[in-house]
Amino acid sequence: MPLAEAPQAVPDIEAFLDQDRHKDLLRFTTAGSVDDGKSTLIGRLLYDSRGVYEDQIAALKRSTVNRSTGKIDFSLLTDGLRAEREQGITIDVAYRYFATSKRKFIIADTPGHEQYTRNMATGASTADLAVVLIDARNGVLSQSRRHAFIATLLGIRHILVTVNKMDLVDFREDVFERIREEFASHLKRLGVEGARFIPICALDGDNVIARSARTPWYRGESLLEYLESVPLDGDRTRGPMRFPVQIVIRPGLDFRGYAGQVVSGVIRRGDPVMVLPSGRASRIKSLAAWGGDVAEVIAPMPATVCLEDELDVSRGDMLVHPAEAPRVSRHFEAALVWMNEQPLRLDRPYLLKHTTQQLRANVIAIAHRVNINTLAQEPADALELNEIGRVAIETARPLFFDAYRANRWTGSFILIDPIGNSTVAAGMIQEPERPTTADRAARSALLELEFQAGRLTPAERFARAGHYPAAIWLPARRELAYLLERRLFQRGCQVHALAEDVESAILPELAALLTAAGLIAIFSVSNPDLAERERAKAEVGGGRFFHFEAQSLAANDEEAVRQICATLEDHGVLLQGDLSGAEGI
Amino acid sequence: MNQRLTHLRLLEAESIHILREVAAEFARPVMLYSIGKDSSVMLRLAQKAFYPDKIPFPLLHVDTGYKFQEMIEFRDRYTAQIGVRLIVHQNRRALDEGANPFRLGTQKCCGLLKTRALLEALTEGGFDAAFGGARREEEKSRAKERVYSFRDALGQWDPKNQRPELWNLFNGRIDKGESIRVFPLSNWTELDVWHYIHLERIAVVPLYFAKLREMVVRGETLIPVEHDIPLAPGERPQWVMCRMRSLGCAPCTGAVLSEADTVPKIIAELAALRRSERENRIIDHDQEGSMELKKREGYF
């Protein structure tokens, strides 16, 4: 038989195929404790939606274990491993698949034990929706609260609460309503709006696939109807474009492409881009793809990008749109889920993996630990297995990131133990609170220098020095910074350049201090940390802060110095022309 | 403009991300190539991931010597056609000593000709990462498998000591001698695989398509007449319209009765069918929890 393509189709099958492959995908996580019937519910969903095969059911019927009261123990469909079957508990995350005519579903099935917080976090990390189970007989227990908390912490916006075992409370509406009221107020504290509540009996299938006649007072959708219709709001194409480079593709001398996944936004041919951390600018020349170049790639699809300029770009770098840069810093705060038997230690270095970067990092402070049952914030000097806390992190090199709430893919990271190699924590970067713990720590040395408002006035300083103070923020061009310092010095200015690797978190304070002392302070930093730049501007005062973009400056250093001086003159920082006549010395 | 992506495109994106991560982070990756439909899909995804470059790692086929002749022919032609390096490894010693499923039983035979041979080949090649086409949907113990599955220096899997796997951040840190098995198709189902084969016009071994074949009919099982399968008294091969739903070694892979001779017909058949694809794989059923045991010992 020739190595031909598979024989092609007849039309009516084609129509079926077309419908079938245009389904979208909903990922959800389930969390429940040992006895609230989670495995039974999933077994039931799979069974009734034909996600289980006849031979698997036959094998179940043959199985020597049946922990349920029904004919078939549906929970055996999902409890995969021997140890679990022996202990009767689910000890790890298991993934299940089923599809209806409307959607394909992936279930991350996680256990509910307190000690398995890490598994719940794992399952929730990729889910769009969380199904929380409550046993109607027991009401709201701390584990249900915990599930909801972890789901929201991991960024899940849809919470579906199923009140199970309604048969054991005679399908009473008041039992359901009481649970609903209590849990809804808990969800409100977590910031969850519009959670759905459904009364079910997983064992018999009430309100799982079809609405049940045994709950005539319930007018909502069945569980499956809800799963099939809930809008997927995780449209990743809307956010700012983020393209972490995974690997450089270089089949020969005439092609150099950067391969990666567009983790958010859209990348288009012709778009201007900035490369982080270098801050260099270029433009998308082409987007290579199997089957021919394309004009755009939307998140979360893979792309291979060729740039117009020959830049040194490698794995770990990120392409972004220049107008929508992420935060760039070595310091940030994060929520941390600790996942290892060895507790978190502040004196120990970890490896941090974020997008396609892996670098050394230290946890420099623990702001607090969250009691996952009461949500109270408690002081802590360690995080143990399955504990959650807010921490300050310092990385060896700058990271480019967004807050997790804004972008799951550039706001998440894991910590790895560099000796044992295990994954010890999952982190979610938080929006900065000012001043952050990280800032405070880095700034402690400066605190002692904090000065009172001087007695010398700016006018007096101007009369003496012949210029006003200013902060000049340059791109990463060290030689330019030093040349500018020299030229201004030659003009008689009091000037100081900072162009070595400076701790970026304290740059704003340094700028404030140096300008308060009457100096012209020149900063040329190797990573364009926009947040720090904005803060420096605020500290110094907009009228004394001058930011020069890489693209706006001449490539020749002398030429660029002349441009900068002209700007300073225009703004009255320097007197017009040359003060001392020393230019050119 | 409708920006919504179908589940197939999302699965493709996830798989390509995984393939690139491994190629970037490991020194010596290899792709296990079983010649089956999942391997065919994985191979296409790798072509896409590194285009316009060639696939930057070799393929490894663990040849038990009991594969179908059509599989071997397909393997040699297809890998030559797409220009990828192929390593074929056999447990020569066991074969020379006459290992076969009829004499040893399936458990021992798999242990020698598949698991042992695989571990030998991985050690010989010094491979630190090996892609496999396994899917979580296939079997219960696979449902808990990570995308990056850590194996110790003996190639063993410890289900209780797996690394947590969050978002798309994979931890590939290993010490010398240890390795990672990587499953880019973890979230694909059998139906997804066929849809993708159809959509992408991917070539597969003709054994997947129904035609009249000479078979031994044993109860509900159809066993192909190949590799001198011993016949029970009174058994005679018959011509049956059938196809293979999954491909393994000829003596241990049953066929299913089917008229599906095109990819769309296979998809239509699967959509209506409620039997799982590994049902006809004898090795999964030789004892309870058998796949888990094989995996602990180093099987994929």
Strand partners, A514: none
Is A580 inside any structural domain?
Answer: no
* pLDDT level of residue A58 (50, 70, 90 thresholds): low
* pLDDT at residue A233, rounded to an integer: 64
Residue B87 dihedral angles phi and psi, to the nearest 5°: -110, 130
Read off the pLDDT of residues A248-274 as tens digits, 9 standing for 90 and up.
Answer: 999 988 999 999 999 999 999 999 999
**Residue B149 and residue B13 share a domain:** yes
- Give the closest-approach CA distance of B96 to chain A in angstroms: 32
**Residue B225 and residue B146 share a domain:** no
Question: Letter for the amino acid at A90?
Answer: T
Is B2 inside any structural domain?
Answer: no
Q: What is the CATH number of the domain that holds A42?
A: 3.40.50.300
Rounded mean pLDDT of A380-388?
A: 92
Q: A237: which chain B residues are within 8 Å (Cβ-Cβ)?
A: 3
Q: Are B276 and B246 in contact (CB under 8 A)?
A: no
Q: What is the CATH number of the domain that holds A270?
A: 2.40.30.10
Asked whether the beta carbons of residue B164 and residue A121 sit closer than 8 angstroms, the reply is yes
SS3 B255: strand
**Residue A255 and residue A158 share a domain:** no
Q: In angstroms, what CA-CA distances link B107 with A285, A415, B112, B114, B292?
A: 56, 40, 9, 10, 13
Q: In angstroms, what CA-CA distances link A19 with A64, A118, B192, B193, B243?
A: 41, 38, 13, 16, 26
Q: Using a CB–CB cutoff of 8 Å, tell me whether B275 touches chain A.
A: yes
Query: Who contacts A523 (Cβ-Cβ below 8 Å, separation ≥6)?
Result: A471, A472, A473, A474, A481, A497, A498, A499, A502, A507, A511, A536
Asked whether the beta carbons of residue A13 and residue B165 sit closer than 8 angstroms, the reply is no
CA-based R_g, chain A, Å: 30
Is residue B84 scored above 50 in pLDDT? Answer: yes
Is A486 inside any structural domain?
Answer: yes
Is residue A280 scored above 60 in pLDDT? Answer: yes
- For all residues of chain B together, what is the average pLDDT? 86
Read off the pLDDT of residues B154-211 as tens digits, 9 standing for 90 and up.
Answer: 878 887 778 899 999 999 999 998 999 999 999 999 989 999 999 999 999 999 999 9
Is residue A560 scored above 70 in pLDDT? Answer: yes
Give me the helix-helix angle, A557-570 and A478-490, nearest 10°: 60
Strands (E), B105-166: 129-131, 148-151
Distance between CA B39 and CA B22 in Å, rounded? Answer: 17
A515 against A445, higher pLDDT = A515
Provide the domain count of chain B. Answer: 2
Tokens of A289: 């793809």
Is B82 inside any structural domain?
Answer: yes
**Residue A207 and residue A124 share a domain:** yes
Provide the domain count of chain A. Answer: 4
**Residue A196 and residue A81 share a domain:** yes
**Residue A334 and residue A291 share a domain:** no
**Residue B52 and residue B189 share a domain:** yes
Is A448 inside any structural domain?
Answer: no
Is B156 inside any structural domain?
Answer: yes
Distance between CA A285 and CA A270 in Å, rounded? Answer: 6
- Give the closest-approach CA distance of B202 to chain A in angstroms: 6
**Residue A91 and residue A221 share a domain:** yes
* pLDDT at residue A300, rounded to an integer: 92
* pLDDT at residue A442, rounded to an integer: 46
CB atoms within 10 A of CB B223: 21
Q: Are B36 and B246 in contact (CB under 8 A)?
A: yes
* pLDDT at residue A585, rounded to an integer: 30
Tokens of B77: 């032609």
**Residue A133 and residue A213 share a domain:** yes
**Residue B239 and residue B131 share a domain:** no
**Residue B72 and residue B153 share a domain:** yes
Distance between CA B38 and CA B56 in Å, rounded? Answer: 19
Is A104 inside any structural domain?
Answer: yes
Q: A21: which chain B residues are within 8 Å (Cβ-Cβ)?
A: 6-8, 195, 199
Residue A331 dihedral angles phi and psi, to the nearest 5°: -130, 135
Is A5 inside any structural domain?
Answer: no
**Residue B65 and residue B79 share a domain:** yes
**Residue B142 and residue B119 share a domain:** yes
Last residue of a domain, one of A324, A346, A361: A324
Q: Using a CB–CB cutoff of 8 Å, tell me whether A207 touches chain B.
A: no
Is B199 inside any structural domain?
Answer: no
Is residue A443 scored above 50 in pLDDT? Answer: no
Is B254 inside any structural domain?
Answer: yes
**Residue A476 and residue A561 share a domain:** yes
Q: A1: which chain B residues are within 8 Å (Cβ-Cβ)?
A: 70, 206
Read off the pLDDT of residues A188-230 as tens digits, 9 standing for 90 and up.
Answer: 989 888 899 999 999 888 999 889 999 999 999 999 999 999 9
Q: B8: which chain A residues are within 8 Å (Cβ-Cβ)?
A: 21
Q: Are B139 and B278 in contact (CB under 8 A)?
A: yes
Read off the pLDDT of residues A490-512 as tens digits, 9 standing for 90 and up.
Answer: 888 899 998 876 666 778 888 88
Q: What is the CATH number of the domain that holds B73?
A: 3.40.50.620
ipTM metric = 0.89
SS3 B59: strand
Last residue of a domain, one of A270, A304, A324: A324
Distance between CA B137 and CA B187 in Å, rounded? Answer: 7
**Residue A374 and residue A398 share a domain:** yes
- Alpha-helical regions (H) of A29-141: 38-48, 54-62, 82-87, 117-124
**Residue B275 and residue B293 share a domain:** no
Tokens of B195: 């849809």
Query: Which of A111-120, A225-234, A488-497 has the highest mean predicted lDDT (pLDDT)?
Result: A488-497
Query: Largest alpha-carbon pair distance within chain A?
Result: 100
Is B201 inside any structural domain?
Answer: no
**Residue A254 and residue A209 share a domain:** no
**Residue B179 and residue B265 share a domain:** no
Read off the pLDDT of residues B96-134 as tens digits, 9 standing for 90 and up.
Answer: 887 777 777 777 777 778 888 899 999 999 999 999 999
* pLDDT level of residue A50 (50, 70, 90 thresholds): low
- The percent of residues above 70 in pLDDT, for chain A, comes to 81
Last residue of a domain, one of A271, A297, A324: A324
Q: Are B24 and A315 in contact (CB under 8 A)?
A: yes
- Give the closest-approach CA distance of A213 to chain B in angstroms: 29
Query: Who contacts A369 (Cβ-Cβ below 8 Å, separation ≥6)?
Result: A377, A378, A379, A380, A383, A387, A388, A389
Q: Are B138 and B279 in contact (CB under 8 A)?
A: no
Please give the residue range of the domain that contains residue B44: 7-193+288-297
**Residue B156 and residue B29 share a domain:** yes
- Give the closest-approach CA distance of B140 to chain A in angstroms: 5
**Residue A470 and residue A367 share a domain:** no
* pLDDT at residue B153, rounded to an integer: 85
Q: Are A45 and A98 in contact (CB under 8 A)?
A: yes
Is residue B136 scored above 60 in pLDDT? Answer: yes
Is B44 inside any structural domain?
Answer: yes
Cβ-based burial of A2 (10 A; exposed 0-12, middle 13-18, buried ≥19): exposed
CA-based R_g, chain B, Å: 19
* pLDDT at residue A544, rounded to an integer: 84
Q: Using a CB–CB cutoff of 8 Å, tell me whether A92 touches chain B.
A: yes
**Residue B73 and residue B158 share a domain:** yes
Q: What is the 3-state secondary structure (H, E, C) of A21-38?
A: HCCEEEEEEEEECCCCCH
* pLDDT at residue A61, rounded to an integer: 63
What b-and-e string marks burial along A306-322, b requiring 16 or more CB atoms within 10 Å of the CB? Answer: bbeeeeebebbbbbbbb
**Residue B177 and residue B234 share a domain:** no
Query: Who contacts A508 (Cβ-Cβ below 8 Å, separation ≥6)?
Result: A532, A535, A536, A538, A539, A540
Cβ-based burial of B103 (10 A; exposed 0-12, middle 13-18, buried ≥19): exposed
Distance between CA B257 and CA A581 in Å, rounded? Answer: 98
B144 against A418, higher pLDDT = A418
**Residue A344 and residue A316 share a domain:** no
**Residue A201 and residue A66 share a domain:** yes
Please give the residue range of the domain that contains residue A148: 18-229
CB atoms within 10 A of CB A352: 24
* pLDDT level of residue A126 (50, 70, 90 thresholds): very high
* pLDDT level of residue A321 (50, 70, 90 thresholds): very high
Is B48 inside any structural domain?
Answer: yes
Read off the pLDDT of residues B35-78 as tens digits, 9 standing for 90 and up.
Answer: 999 999 999 999 999 999 999 999 999 998 888 889 999 999 99
